[in-house]
């Protein structure tokens, strides 16, 4: 989705996507600029993982727009738009230029691949703080809402409020103030307070509804978010943000039929831009994978006109989650820059790849991809990467090798890693001393988790009993929750009778199996 439509009308670009035509021919460079120009001319010799860092270092020493334009020109020539570090580089260029040459920064926006809220906020703030362009911050904000590509966040609203105050727009200012409070309370985990603010707002716009719906989703109240959407339908047409929240809710519920309904609703009612938005399609791929339909996820993925690294990550993680190891590794091979693709894998990509190797028991491949991540892509392993490798080694009987990896980790192993080792020790009949030592580490790791200890202490003081985990299924649009030993479901009797029948049939099959093998 192009970001040019976010610009106030006076800044709509009418030029090719190259800064050669953005600025007038520069004046002769200063001695400082000569030094900087020499530095930028050497950046092409840097390896890919050092190149962005070098340009960022140049930005730190940049003290004029002339120097900034030289760095920007070098970035245009030598970086790929969808590299994960390019967006951060351009956000710094935007930040520098917005308060030095606002017109230049506004013309920079269309060149940024999938701009984020920081970049949008930078322009809004610059307009709000300008002496004669405050109204353009309002235009920028409204275009963000209409196009639905860059989501306003808790930092957006104070800047827009400043602009509304300047033009004396009380009702619009009250709406933004309420929306800001909703975001604030949701971010702090106070969903009840955000609901109270929403209910007490005298005027609610689409942003207000989107904020509260997304608040329910972030808080895990997926059913409530869907109910709010039903209420909203009579008042506003949903936009891209609404649909993205609904898709996330369906993924959280694991409700495939409901997710398909939301997808169909989007196809019927949303415009071309929303339906073809990369973020929206990424959410659909993720939702279908979480709902167990890898085939539907693949269909959405194959139909995407554009894909970013998150698109591939969602698909790779989906394959890995469902044990489709070969497809996961083949997907990674497609985006590997060695194969001349322009998408750079990141740490999430390798979590999916290592998870796939773990599912397939592929020790040699797991080691290969782990080394590739560290040595070639220069990605520092996170706890999740180590967890995958430890589990992979331990599951395949390489207990000592797994322990060696744990002892060499630069970060402290968590309880999940120790439990993986303990499980492998028990299944592999490892000597009792080693098993006891691993069990002790698992117990100590859990006790040393400050957040777990604090919650347990507070629960004990207030005599709160932990609610057991539950399973849920969707049947004909209705959700059913099941707890261990629970008898509160209205169809409990029929459910347990059916389970008894299933159990008896399994026993019969097992007896037939044993009888057959005795005869053989």
Rounded CA-CA distance 247/180 in Å is 23
Q: Is residue 48 part of a domain?
A: yes
Q: Which residues are CB-contacts of 129 (< 8 A; sequence separation ≥ 6)?
A: 99, 162
Residues of the chain with pLDDT under 50: 1-49, 168-170, 340, 450, 452-455
Q: Which residues are CB-contacts of 499 (< 8 A; sequence separation ≥ 6)?
A: none
* 376 and 476 belong to one structural domain: no
The pTM score is: 0.61
pLDDT given at position 474? 64
Give the number of C-alpha atoms closer than 13 A to the C-alpha of residue 463, restricted to the C-beta side: 0
Q: Report the DSSP beta bridge partners of residue 483.
A: 470
Give the number of C-alpha atoms closer than 13 A to the C-alpha of residue 163, restricted to the C-beta side: 26
3-class secondary structure, 478: strand
* 476 and 374 belong to one structural domain: no
Please report which residue ranges of 23-116 form alpha helices under DSSP H: 31-41, 48-60, 65-78, 84-98, 102-108
**CB-based burial of residue 437 (10 Å sphere; 0-12 exposed, 13-18 middle, 19+ buried)?**
middle
Domain termination site, one of 115, 140, 175: 115
Cα→Cα distances 48→136, 208, 277, 309, Å? 38, 42, 28, 17
Q: Is residue 172 part of a domain?
A: no
Q: Is residue 59 part of a domain?
A: yes
* 482 and 372 belong to one structural domain: no
Rounded CA-CA distance 518/303 in Å is 54
Nearest-Å Rg of the Cα atoms of the chain is 27
Domain termination site, one of 94, 115, 136: 115
Please report which residue ranges of 428-491 form alpha helices under DSSP H: 432-448, 450-461
Please report which residue ranges of 254-362 form alpha helices under DSSP H: 256-269, 272-275, 278-290, 294-302, 309-321, 325-335, 347-360
Q: Is residue 173 part of a domain?
A: no
8 A C-beta contact, residue 334 and residue 326? no
Q: In total, how many domains does the chain have?
A: 3
Q: Is residue 274 part of a domain?
A: no
Question: Where in the sequence is the domain holding 507, given as residue range(s)?
Answer: 472-519
Cα→Cα distances 327→74, 312, 317, 334, 345, Å? 38, 12, 10, 11, 16
Q: Is residue 396 part of a domain?
A: no
pLDDT given at position 10? 39
Q: Is residue 376 part of a domain?
A: yes
Buried residues in 403-425 as b, exposed as e (16+ CB within 10 A): bebbeeeeeebbbbbbbbbbebb
**If you write DSSP's letter for every residue of 151-178 in order, what string do you get?**
---TTHHHHHHHHHHHTT-HHHHHHHHH
Rounded CA-CA distance 212/185 in Å is 10
Pair of tokens at residue 338: 């060695």
Domain termination site, one of 323, 357, 380: 380
8 A C-beta contact, residue 152 and residue 120? yes
8 A C-beta contact, residue 248 and residue 288? no
* 478 and 369 belong to one structural domain: no
Alpha carbon 280 to its chain's center: 12
Q: Is residue 192 part of a domain?
A: no
Q: Which residues are CB-contacts of 92 (< 8 A; sequence separation ≥ 6)?
A: 56, 59
3-state helix, strand, coil in the chain (%, to 5): 70, 0, 30
3-class secondary structure, 148: coil
């Amino acid at each position: 989705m192009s970001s040019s439509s976010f610009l106030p009308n006076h800044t709509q670009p009418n030029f090719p996507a190259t800064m050669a035509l953005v600025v007038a021919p520069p004046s002769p460079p200063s001695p400082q600029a000569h030094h900087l120009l020499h530095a930028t001319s050497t950046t092409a010799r840097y390896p890919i993982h050092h190149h962005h860092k070098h340009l960022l270092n140049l930005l730190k020493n940049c003290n004029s727009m002339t120097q900034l334009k030289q760095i920007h020109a070098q970035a245009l020539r030598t970086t790929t738009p969808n590299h994960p570090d390019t967006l951060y580089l351009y956000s710094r260029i935007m930040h520098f230029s917005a308060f030095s040459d606002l017109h230049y920064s506004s013309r920079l926006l269309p060149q940024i691949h999938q701009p984020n809220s920081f970049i949008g906020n930078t322009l809004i703030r610059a307009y709000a703080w300008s002496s004669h362009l405050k109204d353009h911050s309002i235009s920028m904000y409204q275009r963000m809402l209409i196009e639905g590509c860059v989501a306003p966040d808790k930092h957006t609203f104070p800047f827009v409020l400043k602009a509304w105050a300047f033009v004396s727009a009380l009702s619009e200012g009250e709406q933004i103030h309420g929306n800001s409070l909703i975001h604030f309370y949701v971010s702090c985990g106070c969903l009840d307070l955000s609901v109270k603010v929403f209910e007490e707002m005298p005027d609610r716009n689409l942003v207000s509804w989107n904020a509260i719906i997304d608040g329910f989703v972030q808080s895990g109240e997926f059913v409530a978010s869907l109910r709010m959407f039903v209420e909203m339908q009579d008042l506003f047409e949903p936009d891209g943000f609404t649909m993205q929240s609904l898709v996330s809710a369906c993924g959280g519920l694991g409700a495939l039929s409901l997710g398909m309904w939301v997808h169909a609703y989007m196809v019927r009612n949303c415009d071309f831009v929303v339906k073809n938005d990369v973020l929206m399609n990424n959410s659909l791929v993720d939702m279908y994978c979480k709902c167990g339909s890898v085939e539907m996820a693949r269909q959405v993925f194959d139909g995407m006109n554009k894909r970013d690294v998150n698109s591939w990550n969602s698909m790779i993680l989906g394959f890995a989650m469902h044990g489709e190891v070969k497809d996961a590794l083949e997907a990674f091979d497609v985006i590997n820059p060695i194969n001349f693709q322009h998408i750079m894998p990141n740490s999430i990509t390798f979590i999916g790849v290592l998870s796939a190797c773990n599912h397939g028991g592929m020790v040699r491949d797991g080691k290969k991809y782990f080394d590739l991540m560290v040595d070639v892509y220069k990605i520092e392993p996170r706890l999740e990467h180590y967890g995958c490798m430890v589990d992979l080694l331990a599951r395949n009987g390489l207990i000592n090798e797994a322990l060696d990896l744990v002892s060499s980790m630069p970060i402290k192993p968590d309880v999940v890693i120790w439990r993986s080792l303990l499980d492998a020790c028990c299944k592999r009949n490892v000597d009792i001393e080693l098993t006891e030592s691993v069990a002790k580490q698992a117990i100590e790791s859990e006790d040393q988790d400050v957040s777990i200890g604090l919650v347990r202490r507070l629960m004990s003081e207030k005599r709160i009993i932990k609610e057991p985990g539950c399973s849920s299924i969707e049947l004909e649009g209705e959700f059913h929750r099941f707890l261990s030993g629970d008898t509160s479901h209205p169809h409990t009797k029929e459910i347990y009778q059916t389970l008894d029948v299933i159990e008896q049939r399994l026993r019969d099959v097992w007896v037939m199996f044993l009888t057959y093998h005795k005869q053989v």
